[in-house]
Amino acid sequence: MAIGIKDVAMAAGVSIATVSHVLNSTRYVSDETRRKVEKAMKDLSYSPNYLAKSLKENKSNVIGLVVPDISNFFFTEIAGAIETRLREQGYNLILCNTDENLELEKQHIAHLQSYMVSGIIIAPTTREYNYRSLFKTYDYPAVFIDRRLNTPQGDSVYVDTKSVSKKAVEHLISKGHRNIAFIGALKSLSTTEDRYAGYAEALYEHGIAVRPELTGFGGAKDDSGFEICRNILENNPDVTAIFVSTSMMSIGAMRYLVDNRIAVPDKMAIIGFDDYMWTGITNPPLSTIKQPTVELGVKSADLLLKRIEDRSSDIVNEVLQAELIIRESC
Amino acid sequence: MAIGIKDVAMAAGVSIATVSHVLNSTRYVSDETRRKVEKAMKDLSYSPNYLAKSLKENKSNVIGLVVPDISNFFFTEIAGAIETRLREQGYNLILCNTDENLELEKQHIAHLQSYMVSGIIIAPTTREYNYRSLFKTYDYPAVFIDRRLNTPQGDSVYVDTKSVSKKAVEHLISKGHRNIAFIGALKSLSTTEDRYAGYAEALYEHGIAVRPELTGFGGAKDDSGFEICRNILENNPDVTAIFVSTSMMSIGAMRYLVDNRIAVPDKMAIIGFDDYMWTGITNPPLSTIKQPTVELGVKSADLLLKRIEDRSSDIVNEVLQAELIIRESC
DNA sequence: CTGTTAGCGCCTTCAG
DNA sequence: CTGAAGGCGCTAACAG
């Protein structure tokens, strides 16, 4: 069927060993035989079977990426950056979506290993789980991104969103706001926790009490952001500013304000999360916190590749900085 | 190292053939032996090596997706839909980005086949190339999406964007606009061609001449949309409406209008392409054409899966309909 | 009802 | 400088 190394060997009149060696330049081959082999490869338009190679070598040139929500721009940007970086290094990317579902996540991780992927990058759905226990070997290459785990389980790349969230809320306070709402994703996520902590700390340091009724948590979707925003604003007419700690929820909250003709920033100030192309053309242009998604992707890919090379080096934990971008919504 | 089928066989005191057969329920095994085998698998926490299986069976449970620009929301939505659909069917997805580069695309297609992916879904960078010539076998499962080829090369799923573009322009005309600009991606793409054809046809049928100076083409990025918009508007003060035939270019064009405080829709009407969460919160809410991305993804996955099952059935060509969504920008 | 065995395509040690 | 041969983990005849 498919033409393989042995067809090439036959056509070139050499052994398969020789063909293998010219293929990988793994031992000296005389110029003449090399040429013969190369000609044969060309003539037969041979291309190696990576599966067989991987099986033999017990590792593939593929890595797995496991994310909780592929429809979230934050993760797609990261995925794009990782894909690009890996391609440069001759690797491919298998993309897995978990829908924030631990069972699915476990399945994917097992599955990926069955394909002998060389390593896995995970944005974990939960902070409690012992992901290491899912790995075939104790030193399986894996890097964790975006969400912290209760106990570190390997290399990781996170973004410091606490301090920047604090800065955002301080900005609102400096504009005279005192009744500031907080909208966030599931409370169990480290990311939500951090951003909320930044919010609370800013309030605390300015002598403002945190009012639980001004805070709302839920799924990180736009509809959820819309609902939470509605709920808070309808019940608390004194709110004059909102801090939303998730990109899609920011859109939902904004939509609530637009739909209800609540003037921004005059009646309501808002700072959202994650910065994209369209944040400049919203009504009004939205102030946001910009996370370094590309850098996060590239760093995590590099870390994983390094870990694949050397499983015994010290674990590294990168923390990237985010940036507050002030536009006209606050 | 890794525990395999033979370790299980040994532990269960049966042959590897039996283990393989309980694994795949591919022949009858007595309840008792089955139980022994299953126990052994559990005890050893065995999990099969898909690579070996794929090598043997000459096909994997992985499919490849090749897209020209993974940072384009249009393609990420499609990718998400495909991933979800494939997972339901027990397949995984390898994601490849070509950056609109034919050489890279060829490389990816070759590479994917080296990994014995069961099939490939491609949004091709060019309409001229004979992609079939890159396939190992003449009947290799592949489905083409989004962009048409000069000559059909397999199953395909496209969106009819011509008629909806015409409708969009007719809408602008019905509002009294006569000097309508067209902003599109590279002219060589079938998608650009179709949308431009819809634009031209609408003008023609209303006795309006196409003025080349009101049309602009370029890379499908936001900056490119911005520049083309600027160029057209600066040189043609009589333009009162714009039709943008690409999502990111729509954002760029909008940003030009916002930056230059050109009142929409009073001074300038605009209809953009592709509908996302944020199109409802722009200033003003943007009228757009919504392509059925999820349906496109699901359909293409289904088609490919069907093609993998049966390579000889008739080629199918799906054409999906898009929808014009009128908001306040026109 | 179960076991033996020959590969899938490739790499790599061991001999020339 | 080059070949022969074993085996990676699994499937599927073929043979009981």
Q: For residue range A169-202, what is the model confidence (pLDDT) as tens digits? A: 999 999 999 999 999 999 999 999 999 999 999 9
Q: Which residues of B touch A284 (CB under 8 A)?
A: 283
Report percent pLDDT > 90 for chain B: 96
Question: Do A285 and A138 fall within a single domain?
Answer: no
Distance of residue B52 Cα from the nearest chain A Cα, in angstroms? 6
Radius of gyration of chain B measured on its C-alpha atoms:
26
pLDDT band at residue B328 using 50, 70 and 90 as cut-offs = very high
- Six-digit token pair at B325? 């969504």
> A105 in a domain, yes or no?
yes
Nearest to B252 by CA among B282, B281, B280, B277: B282
> A54 in a domain, yes or no?
no
**Residue A146, SS3 per DSSP:** coil
pLDDT at B258: 93
Question: Do B152 and B165 fall within a single domain?
Answer: no
Q: Does A280 touch chain B (CB under 8 A)?
A: yes
Q: What CATH code is carried by the domain that includes residue B304?
A: 3.40.50.2300
pLDDT at B59: 86
Question: Do A99 and A139 fall within a single domain?
Answer: yes
Report percent pLDDT > 70 for chain B: 100
A47 with B110: Cβ contact below 8 A: yes
pLDDT at B104: 95
User: Edge-to-edge strands of the sheet including A180-184?
Assistant: A215-217, A180-184, A241-244, A269-273, A287-290, A323-325
Question: Do A89 and A38 fall within a single domain?
Answer: no
The residue-averaged pLDDT of B75-103 equals: 95
pLDDT at A58: 87
pLDDT for B1 beyond 80:
no
Q: What CATH code is carried by the domain that includes residue A15?
A: 1.10.260.40
Question: How many of the other CB atoms lie within 10 Å of CB of A310?
Answer: 9
Contact call for residues A299 and A146 (beta carbons, < 8 A): no
**Residue A275, SS3 per DSSP:** coil
How many domains would you assign to chain B? 3
Write out the residue range of the structural domain in which residue B137 sits: 59-160+293-321
pLDDT, tens digit (0-9, with 9 covering 90-100), for B236-274: 999 999 999 999 999 999 999 999 999 999 999 999 999
Q: How far, in Å, is the CA of A58 from the C1' of nucleotide D4?
A: 23
> A97 in a domain, yes or no?
yes
Partner residue facing A254 (CB), from B60, B114, B281: B281
A59 touches strand C (CB under 7 A): no
What would you measure as the largest C-alpha separation in chain A, in angstroms? 86
Question: Do B285 and B298 fall within a single domain?
Answer: no
Specify the pairing of strand A215-217 against strand A180-184.
Answer: parallel
A241, HSE (Cβ side, Cα atoms, 13 Å)? 22
Question: Do B42 and B72 fall within a single domain?
Answer: no
Question: Do B171 and B264 fall within a single domain?
Answer: yes
Contact call for residues A299 and A318 (beta carbons, < 8 A): yes
Q: How far, in Å, is the CA of A263 from the C1' of nucleotide D5?
A: 80
Question: Do A133 and A254 fall within a single domain?
Answer: no
Question: Do A151 and A266 fall within a single domain?
Answer: no
Q: Determine the protein residue whose CA lies at the shortest distance from the C1' of D7.
A: A56
pLDDT at B3: 87
> B89 in a domain, yes or no?
yes
pLDDT at A59: 86
pLDDT, tens digit (0-9, with 9 covering 90-100), for A208-250: 999 999 999 999 999 999 999 999 999 999 999 999 999 999 9
DSSP H helices, B58-212, are 73-88, 102-114, 161-174, 190-205
pLDDT at A283: 86
The residue-averaged pLDDT of B295-311 equals: 96
- Rounded to whole angstroms, the Cα distance separating A110 from A115 reads 9
Q: A212 φ, ψ to 5°?
A: -55, -30
A47 with B83: Cβ contact below 8 A: no
Question: Do A166 and A285 fall within a single domain?
Answer: yes
B92 with A93: Cβ contact below 8 A: no
Q: How far, in Å, is the CA of B18 from the C1' of nucleotide D6?
A: 24
Question: Do A135 and A178 fall within a single domain?
Answer: no
Which DSSP category does B116 fall into?
A: T
Question: Do A143 and A196 fall within a single domain?
Answer: no
> B328 in a domain, yes or no?
no
A92 with B84: Cβ contact below 8 A: no
pLDDT band at residue B150 using 50, 70 and 90 as cut-offs = very high
Partner residue facing A111 (CB), from B92, B96, B277: B92
pLDDT in tens, chain A (330 residues): 578 999 999 999 999 999 999 999 998 999 999 999 999 999 999 999 999 999 999 889 999 999 999 989 999 999 999 999 999 999 999 999 999 999 999 999 999 999 999 999 999 999 999 999 999 889 999 999 999 999 999 999 999 999 999 999 999 999 999 999 999 999 999 999 999 999 999 999 999 999 999 999 999 999 999 999 999 999 999 999 999 999 999 999 999 999 999 999 999 999 999 999 999 999 899 999 999 999 999 999 999 999 999 999 999 999 999 999 999 999
